[in-house]
Amino acid sequence: MSLTADRALYLFQVQDANIAPLFRRILDELMKWFLSAGLVSLVLVCPFQSSSANSLQQTAYGRHAVVVSCERHASEAGIDAIAAGGNAVDGAVATAFALAVTCPRAGNLGGGGFALIRTPKGEVISNDHREKAPALATRDMFLDETGKPSSALSLNSVLAAGVPGTVAGLLDMHERFGVLPRSRVMAASIRLARKGFPVSHDLAEQLKRRLELFSRSVAATQAFTRRNKPYQPGEILRQPDLARTLIRIRDSGRDGFYKGVTADLLVAKMKADGGLISHADLENYSSVWRSPVSGDYRGYRLYSMAPPSSGGVLLVWMLNMLEKLAPAQLTFASSEFLHHLIEIQRRAYAGRSFGDPDFYHNDIELLTSKAFAARQFSGIDPERASVSTDIRAEVEPRRRESTETTHLSVMDKDGWMVSLTTTLNASFGSKIMVDGAGFLLNNEMDDFATLVGAANLYGLVGRSANQIEPNKRMLSSMTPTLILKDGQPFMALGSPGGSAIINSVLQVIVNVLDRRMPLGRAVGAGRIHHQWQPDRVFVEAWTLSPDVLAALEGRGHRNFSIRKPDDYSGGIGVVNAVMRRADGTLHGVADFRRSGAAAGMD
């Protein structure tokens, strides 16, 4: 099933299960002919609904508020909280807690993330609730007896779990900026966990794919199967253990998670299976309020996440380089632009060497300066591709994290903006559930540089700035971003997608600000991705015409990897965004690359 076919199925409202497969095949063959004839360089671009069992509204408008997330019940929980008198922060927290129930592959209580918040007074601040290494963590803890990195340890064991930060972050955000009682913003998540919700086609497929992996965890098997059989679309998934954990958080705040029964259950799991997280690790965890990275691009003001995320720095760095090109040049029909985009991405990712700012000095001022970008841009040969091994960044390079993240964006009429990205690292984290607590353990320790020069799960190379140290936060690619126009709210966006997160956010921003695309088209447009190493250009299927690809090859770009957005990988990024239009209406779009949902309130 191709991207083009799915878009056309939506446009022509072809929903019948018997007709749709034939229609897809016909469209596939037509598009292949158009492309081979050089008649089409870009496929249809528009926001549309998922054709899964649960038909999700993936675009929404509202004058009062809009919430966009990866799951319908979660977006509805956010809008319901705002309708009850809350602001966008209440809506975001309600959505995030609901995602811990309805999007278990990435929504979580056992993981971490980052959030950017803009207040009606114009203050922009970020909350870092990234996981931390336990106090007993050691630099060589994931090396096997031969001294090589062991993914079995760093991905698939309780040893892979960092100290969870999600609960602390969400509660701190709500306590500082929310206006509703905690019981109200958590009501939907508790109800969804206790009473259950219909399993979507997408979730049923995710759970089915991981039956064998869940078998290592009795609690996960019990939670995500029906007596060891996969859930079918439409069946009701109830999670009573998770409901009880959520109730403890509702009633006791952070002590309901980092102390008491929940903490006892988590530490017992660690002791039983050889993990490191202790009661002291949990009690000592706190989220951190940080100043965001900021930059200016063609008259707009951007704010994004500072280290321990690399996202904000690389985003501003690349936009500063792109500013050297005229807006009219920024078209995917131009091999000249794509050549420059690839070279810009290559240089930025080569310099992706950051670490927890509590442990490592990150020269953010240098990397986000216009002068630094000009110097980097001047090194690009306009006619010839670079070779990644020849690129030596002015700062030390490094590695990266998972595609199975999730992002939510919220804006309201009063000027509140929230952009929040959260993750367990790999899909469903380590696939290991805390017995009796109902939530999965993350495997974020794999995001540290296990060995200098070695690549992690997603191919990024590690450096010393991100080596494992006790109580340190691991590097991330998460890029929650807010954009202001003339000092007023304009857009909130972010994405899952591992190392491709930053480039996904970058290209949607270029589509909106430079190419003047409506938000749905900007999010739906095809994307490319280069991350320095491996020296390969990732391209979404149907994005580039044969003549453009040939022109890029003529410039020396020869290693292409085609990604199909209908694959389980989800293409390149999954951007969920909200934008304020000229008439003041808020417009939200959930990326078609996965099932998602936008909810609006007039």
Residues classed as catalytic: 405
Asked whether 117 and 127 are in contact (CB, 8 A), the reply is yes
Task: Quickly list DSSP for 425-444.
Answer: SSTTTTS-BPTTT--BPP-G
Q: Reduce the DSSP state of residue 168 to 3 states and report it.
A: helix
CB 259 within 8 A of CB 267: no
Secondary structure letter of residue 132 according to DSSP = B
Task: Answer for the pair 383, 38: CB distance below 8 angstroms, yes or no.
Answer: no
Q: How far apart are CA 495 and CA 463, in angstroms?
A: 25
Kindly report the backbone phi and psi dihedral angles of residue 152, in degrees, each rounded to the nearest multiple of 5, phi listed first: -60, -35
- What is the spatial distance between Cα 542 and Cα 526, in angstroms, rounded to a whole number? 7
DSSP string, 25-70: HHHHHHHHHHHHTT--SS---------SSS----EEEESSEEEEES
Neighbours of 551 (CB within 10 A): 17
Q: Please state, as a whole number, how many other Cβ atoms lie within 10 Å of the Cβ of residue 567.
A: 12
Helix pair 187-195, 240-252: axis angle to 10 deg: 160
Rounded Cα distance, 584 and 372, in Å: 36
